[in-house]
Amino acid sequence: MTGKIVCIDLGGTKALCGLAFQGTVENVKRYPVPACATKSEMNRYIIDLIDRIISDECVGIAIGIPGVVDSDSGYVFEVTNIPNWRNINLAGILRARFQMPVMIHNDVNCFVYGEYKFGAHFDKGLPCQTILGVCLGTGLGAGVVISGKLHEGRNGLAGEFGSAPYLKKTLEDYCSGQFFRNLGTDGAKEYELALIGNQNALNLFEQLGNHLGVAIAHMQLAYDPDLIVLGGSVSNAYHLFGSAMHARFAQIEQCEELKICISSLPHAALVGACELFYQRYASELKNVQPA
């Protein structure tokens, strides 16, 4: 297969765009996401992102969406953090506009597939066949590769642990940036305070770690992976919540030897989206040359 793929990792607050090809990605740009946009405005935003980066070398488009999608049809059902953007035939809209194959997938599925194909477990000489990817950012999402294959489930909901009931709300309310927002503060602000030793901020990250320990234990018991890889903006504070998280899930006998690492793969979701695109369209694009 020749030609590059326009890849977008859409988040609740930011979007990363780049041109990917066989595990590499270039020209990566970051843009704010208009989370309060109308349906038509959000469609226009996605088209504009593609227009900014597409070139004559490109033969396809792959997008990771932070919500519930049908990866077979490219239909977006809902995106929690972009409430007006739901029930969209996104793949159809983009195919009509750009006249090339389009793949729409869940963003965390793209992340975990990128980690499976190119992650640090290969560098350690112990390639894993079953990997759980957990993204801690605006929300909480997970994706799983089982025996080398991405597992989506019957309705594409595999790994949607963030929606699971927990305490008075859901796991996402306690295990992501939402945890800080629910307390009337901001995770980035508390992170800076924790770095200078503010005890209240340090306590908040310890509480976050305790909640995450519960979530990780549920994930381990559900899928029993070789490795869990953490990504997303909140994972950058691992040194502040990691100890509490490990102490919490280690109380469960089946989780005592659980292996967890922080993603070190640049733009894992973008290269994962590219690989999932190749997987779907390999035969169709075998003889396609870029313009």
Residue 103 maps to which CATH number? 3.30.420.40
- Are 41 and 169 members of one domain? no
> Residue 277 half-sphere exposure, CB side, CA atoms within 13 Å?
33
CA–CA separation, 251 and 264 (whole Å): 28
- Are 150 and 104 members of one domain? no
Looking at 198-248, which runs of residues are DSSP E strands? 227-231
Handedness of CA 238, 240, 243, 244 (dihedral sign): negative
Please give the structure tokens belonging to residue 164.
């699971």
pLDDT reported for residue 22: 84
* The pLDDT of residue 284 is above 90: no
pLDDT reported for residue 291: 46
Strand 102-106, strand 58-65: pairing: parallel
- Are 164 and 249 members of one domain? yes
CA–CA separation, 288 and 12 (whole Å): 34
Cβ 69 vs Cβ 105: under 8 Å: yes
In terms of C-beta density within 10 A (0-12 exposed, 13-18 middle, 19 or more buried), how is residue 155 classed? exposed
Cβ 104 vs Cβ 91: under 8 Å: yes
Number of domains composing the chain: 2
Could you report the per-residue pLDDT of 219-248, keeping only the tens digit for each?
A: 988 998 989 999 999 999 999 999 999 999
* The pLDDT of residue 253 is above 80: no
Residue 173 inside a domain? The answer is: yes
Strand 68-70, strand 58-65: pairing: unpaired
Could you report the per-residue pLDDT of 146-175, keeping only the tens digit for each?
A: 998 999 988 777 888 888 999 999 999 999
Could you report the per-residue pLDDT of 80-127, keeping only the tens digit for each?
A: 889 999 999 999 999 999 999 999 999 999 999 999 999 877 666 667
In the numeric block, the tokens 């190119």 are attached to: 118
- Are 177 and 104 members of one domain? no
Averaged pLDDT, 164-192: 95
* The pLDDT of residue 274 is above 70: yes
Cβ 124 vs Cβ 111: under 8 Å: no
Q: What average pLDDT does the chain have?
A: 91
- Are 11 and 55 members of one domain? yes
Residue 255 inside a domain? The answer is: yes
Residue 272 inside a domain? The answer is: yes
- Are 163 and 195 members of one domain? yes
Residue 20's DSSP bridge partners are 5, 25
- Domain residue limits at 166: 124-262
Residue 139's contacts (CB-CB under 8 Å, 6 or more residues apart) are 12, 66, 80, 81, 162, 172, 176, 177, 178
Cβ 85 vs Cβ 104: under 8 Å: no
Residue 288 inside a domain? The answer is: no
DSSP string computed for 10-73? E-SSEEEEEEEETTEEEEEEEEE--TT--HHHHHHHHHHHHHHH--TTEEEEEEEESSEEETTT
CA 82 to chain centre: 15
CA–CA separation, 256 and 253 (whole Å): 6
CA–CA separation, 41 and 52 (whole Å): 16
Using alpha carbons, select from 98, 81, 104 the residue that is nearest to residue 7: 104
Label residue 32 by pLDDT band (50, 70, 90): very high
- Are 133 and 106 members of one domain? no
3-state helix, strand, coil in the chain (%, to 5): 40, 25, 35
Residue 117 inside a domain? The answer is: no
Could you report the per-residue pLDDT of 260-269, keeping only the tens digit for each?
A: 999 999 999 9
